[in-house]
Structure 1
Amino acid sequence: MKRSHNHHHIYDLCHKHMNKYVLVELVDGAKVDGIITGLDDDNVYMAVPLEANEMYPDYGDYRFGPWGYPGYPYGYGYGYGYPPNRFRRLILPLAALATISALPWY
């Protein structure tokens, strides 16, 4: 399949920004920020930060620890349990990307 000039340009930008925090704008105008973790001929793979409510499920007035008991989000105190996932994987087709911009980490 023949690739367009834009496809090669977007691929090169993704490759240049591999493992960096970026803002990606899609052709439909949507914007996604995250870290580019992988790239192939058709897709870009990103680690996208989760919102706080996605990391800690809210059950009424309590936030439940990793074992299902109310308490600290990491278990029963500092150092116990595992920290929550902070990223989810997102796969975007290169054809859907319009622009890529590098973002600062802070």
Structure 2
Amino acid sequence: MDYQQVCWSCMNKYVGITTTDGQRYDGFIAHVDSDGVTLAIPTDEMMAGMSADKRQFGFHPGFFPRRRFFRRRIPFLAISDLFLLPFFL
């Protein structure tokens, strides 16, 4: 399968990827080049120094700093499965 073409068609979409060694990743496709794909994987960690239970100047109840994303580079040769996942806000 031509994973480069599939990744280009799924750019900026939430996908799941299974690698040949059994690892599973889910995230947004952030970058595609000739060798692999880069996923932006969301995490539940808040920005450094911020916590959900502390109000600071400029923040009010119900508004918290955005989630952080970690980048993970995956070469096309290591991908065994790629599929779209539903994303709900």
TM class by smaller structure: 0.7 to 0.9
Percent identity for Structure 1 against Structure 2: 31
For residues 47 and 65 of structure 2, the distance between their equivalents in structure 1, rounded to whole angstroms, comes to 10
Regions of 4+ moved over 6 Å: none
Matched residue, 1:15:
8
Structure 1 contact 10–99 (Cα < 8 Å) conserved = no
Pair 1:40-2:33 in alignment: yes
Partner residue of 2:56 out of 60, 70, 75: 75
- TM-score of the pair, normalised by structure 1: 0.65
Q: Return the structure number with greater helix share.
A: 1
Q: Deviation of residue 88 (structure 1)?
A: 1.1
The number of aligned residues is 84
Residue by residue over 1:44-97, the C-alpha shift from the partner in whole angstroms, topping out at 9 and shown as x without a partner, is 0111011x3x4367xxxxxx538xxxx51x635428xx7154211111111111
- TM-score of the pair, normalised by structure 2: 0.76
Secondary structure of 2:6's aligned partner: helix
Partner residue of 2:70 out of 88, 96, 102: 88
For residues 29 and 75 of structure 1, the distance between their equivalents in structure 2, rounded to whole angstroms, comes to 42
Residue by residue over 1:3-49, the C-alpha shift from the partner in whole angstroms, topping out at 9 and shown as x without a partner, is xxx4xx11111111111000001011111000001100112011101
Q: Over the residues paired in the alignment, what is the CA RMSD in angstroms?
A: 2.5
For residues 75 and 65 of structure 1, the distance between their equivalents in structure 2, rounded to whole angstroms, comes to 9
